[in-house]
Amino acid sequence: MTSIIIFLIIALIMVVVVQIGKIADIKGVLDNEGEVHMSGNDRQGVYFMIFLVGFMIFCVASAYYYRNWMLGYGPHDSASEHGVILDQLFNTTLIFTGIVFVLTHIALFWFCQKYKYKKGRKALFLSHNNTLELFWTAIPAAVMCFLVVKGLTAWNAVMADTTEEYMEIEAMGQQFNWMIRYPGGDNLLGERNYKLIDANDPFGQEWNDVKNLDDFHPSEIVLPVNQTIRVRITAKDVLHNFDLPHFRVKMDAIPGLPTYFVFKPTITTEEYREKLRPVPEYQALADPTDPESPMLWEAFNYELACAELCGYGHYSMRRVVRIVTQEEYDAWEKEQESWYNQTVKGTDQDPHKAKSEEEMRLQKISMQKEAFQNSFSSVEAGQTIRLDNVKFLTGSANLEPDSKYELDNLIEILTATYPNMKVELAGHTDNQGNPASNQALSQSRALAVKDYLITNGGIAANRLKAAGYGDTKPATSNDTAEGRQENRRTECIIISNK
């Protein structure tokens, strides 16, 4: 509503101005102008000249005033290798267009002043002039050719896909943020498929592809200095534009058509701040309302922007980019947790779920081994070590498959650590059922363990004694289920260690 009113006011003012002009014309005719008209022309000729001088001074002064804020000049020299080429290209273009700009403006206003109406002066009628035609065609053509060739050369140099070793990251634009993906330890980005995109898998990464398992999605973009970076640029919804102004990197992010940009940052964030430090413009407070806030140069950060007007939240696509030394980068990378580990591992989406369970089982077994070895750290005759992980199938003397890990650990103790140790293998049951059959079961279980050690470990039979105690030596009360569980056990009692 407000804008309509403003528009109407402007339109009305224009109508009024035109009407006043008409009145002035009519008045001139009525007054039979002559002298009046002439002095008006002189005055306007002077105005033109004043405007010309003022305008030129304004152009030069404003460029001078803002020089330390402009990219491509002084403290804002390019922070990437290829950016230097682009800056040169811009400067060359600026020199040519600058000359044309100054000359045409001088000519325009000077001519208005010089050829203002004069009584009796007639315009020169020039139908054709070959020399002039040649000049104003040939000179712009030559300049254009020069600029285009230079531009193409620069484009080819900047856009040549690198053969050098590079680190590839992916930037995916979406309304309204940049999703960033790093390759992780293997330095390779995993495969992705847009059909897999959902809340848990924003890039649509194929979890079957092991290259994906270490890819991580950091909240901050950190890159090592002097390292070639290839950015794979994609978009999820509409057109975005990946813009790193300080590195002169700018490339459209197009849904369905991956693009890329290769660049090498040459100045770390810290070094860039040091460059800004002596510049007077950056000595001010970053937040003028807060006297505690850092100086502008201290608060400087490289940034990633979206340079395509992609919707209402377009501005919020800004992300901070930090350029650091290789050591700092390595430390940072180590801290990053892969998206797979964070979000996918062990869920229904995880094709490696089964495998991870196996890994976890092996991890558990290796922890058991450590604990078991520790229980043998000091050995005296008579000492009893419970074989907690030796288990039998219910009511039988058949070992459960996983018992072998503990028995293998025991074999290692008896061969490598204490090759002379003699032990008793003692079987115990709870007090349920018939004492005689409990005794027989515990005896055959102890024998089963002894057999295993002889058969699989080559332990001499005379170092091993198997004894069944049935329910006669409970470790705890048989009144509860937990107590009875505790009492069903196999023990290794040290007889001697000589």
Sign of CA dihedral 400, 401, 402, 403: positive
Shortest spacing between CB 172 and Cu ion, in angstroms: 11
Could you write out the three-class secondary structure of 433-487? CCHHHHHHHHHHHHHHHHHHHHHHHCCCHHHEEEEECCCCCCCCCCCCHHHHHHH
195, 201 contact by CB (below 8 A): no
Shortest spacing between CB 78 and Cu ion, in angstroms: 24
- Select from 45-53, 278-286, 305-313, 323-331 the region that touches Cu ion (CB under 5 A): 305-313
- Please state, in angstroms and rounded to a whole number, the distance separating the CA atoms of residues 96 and 87: 15
Mutual angle of helices 403-412 and 435-457, in 10-degree steps: 60
Residues 78-117: x where in contact with Cu ion by CB under 5 A, - otherwise, as a string: ----------------------------------------
User: Which residue's CB is nearer to Cu ion, number 64 or number 312?
Assistant: 312
Shortest spacing between CB 310 and Cu ion, in angstroms: 3
- Select from 5-13, 302-310, 395-403, 457-465 the region that touches Cu ion (CB under 5 A): 302-310
384, 492 contact by CB (below 8 A): yes
* Residue 192 interacting with Cu ion (CB under 5 A): no
Site for Cu ion (CB under 5 A): which residue of 181, 192, 240, 273?
A: 240
User: Which residue's CB is nearer to Cu ion, number 217 or number 240?
Assistant: 240
**Total of chain residues touching Cu ion, rule CB under 5 A:** 4
User: Which residue's CB is nearer to Cu ion, number 86 or number 310?
Assistant: 310
User: Which residue's CB is nearer to Cu ion, number 147 or number 254?
Assistant: 254
* Sites for Cu ion among residues 311-330 (CB under 5 A): 317
Shortest spacing between CB 308 and Cu ion, in angstroms: 5
- Amino acid at site 151: G
User: Which residue's CB is nearer to Cu ion, number 310 or number 425?
Assistant: 310
User: Which residue's CB is nearer to Cu ion, number 174 or number 266?
Assistant: 174
Site for Cu ion (CB under 5 A): which residue of 229, 233, 306, 390?
A: 306
- Please state, in angstroms and rounded to a whole number, the distance separating the CA atoms of residues 40 and 116: 10
Cα 245 to Cα 77, 115, 202, 248, 336, distances in angstroms: 11, 46, 26, 5, 26
User: Which residue's CB is nearer to Cu ion, number 304 or number 492?
Assistant: 304
Site for Cu ion (CB under 5 A): which residue of 79, 180, 296, 310?
A: 310
Question: Which is nearest to 100 in space by CA: 142, 130, 140, 64?
Answer: 140
Question: Which is nearest to 180 in space by CA: 231, 226, 250?
Answer: 231
- Please state, in angstroms and rounded to a whole number, the distance separating the CA atoms of residues 444 and 428: 11
In Å, how far from its chain's centre is CA 496?
62
Instruction: List contacts with Cu ion (CB under 5 A).
Output: 240, 306, 310, 317
